[in-house]
Amino acid sequence: MAKFVLMSGSVRRDSHNTAVLDTVRRLVAERPADDGAPHEVVSLSVAEFPLYDWDLEQGAGSADVARAQELVAGADALIISTPAYNGEMSGALKNALDWLSRPGGASPLTGRTVALASASPGARGAIDAQPALAGVLRRCGAEVVDHEPVAIGKAGELARTADGFTDPTVVAALSGLVDATFLALRSLVAAGA
């Protein structure tokens, strides 16, 4: 059994990126666990994070942030899907990652396996947001899953249900990403990490 945290860069009600992660949730559930127990998949909303504030961090702190940090620290892998806002990841996602980069030297992202996807109504599927996102994660010590970029373009035109996308091309691309994530986790186990 593996534990996954899914984080969408969008808080929009009908978000394409949240739909990407709904698809991922479905695909993870279809993959058998080595111990037979169902995989654990939890969604973490970027809306749970207050605006990053050093005074808040050093003072009263935030129970929501503490819960999120604990969730990510306890996960085997984090899977993120982001829109591009002016060519970058959403500000809300960057804010969440800034909190998750804390405390300095003990970030729950350090050593964490992280897989990336993106989606947008435009043809490029928000692919432009991925390099900087990967850069931030690597800077925090995360292990970004080695996979060709999965960027879901023209997302508003693709078949989808309440359980995510059903479009075969999208399902195939996300299946590849999910399989690469499981492979990365198995490699860590094999390496004794």
Ligand X SMILES: Cc1cc2nc3c(=O)[nH]c(=O)nc-3n(C[C@H](O)[C@H](O)[C@H](O)COP(=O)(O)O)c2cc1C
Give me the least distance between CB of 149 and ligand X, in Å please.
Answer: 14
**Segment holding 80, helix H or strand E:** strand 77-82
Q: Closer to ligand X at the Cβ: 69 or 130?
A: 130
Q: What is the 3-state secondary structure (H, E, C) of 83-131?
A: CCECCECCHHHHHHHHHHCCCCCCCCCCCCEEEEEEECCCCCCCHHHHH
Closest CA to 92 of 58, 43, 45: 45
Closest CA to 193 of 105, 95, 111, 123: 111
Q: Closer to ligand X at the Cβ: 102 or 124?
A: 124
CB 140 within 8 A of CB 133: no
Q: Closer to ligand X at the Cβ: 3 or 124?
A: 124
Give me the least distance between CB of 96 and ligand X, in Å please.
Answer: 15
Q: Closer to ligand X at the Cβ: 81 or 113?
A: 81
Give me the least distance between CB of 135 and ligand X, in Å please.
Answer: 17
Q: Closer to ligand X at the Cβ: 46 or 78?
A: 46
The three-class DSSP label of residue 6 is: strand
CB 94 within 8 A of CB 139: no
Binding residues vs ligand X (CB under 6 A): 10, 12, 15-17, 83-87, 120-122, 124, 126
Give me the least distance between CB of 13 and ligand X, in Å please.
Answer: 9
- Tokens 């991922």 belong to 24
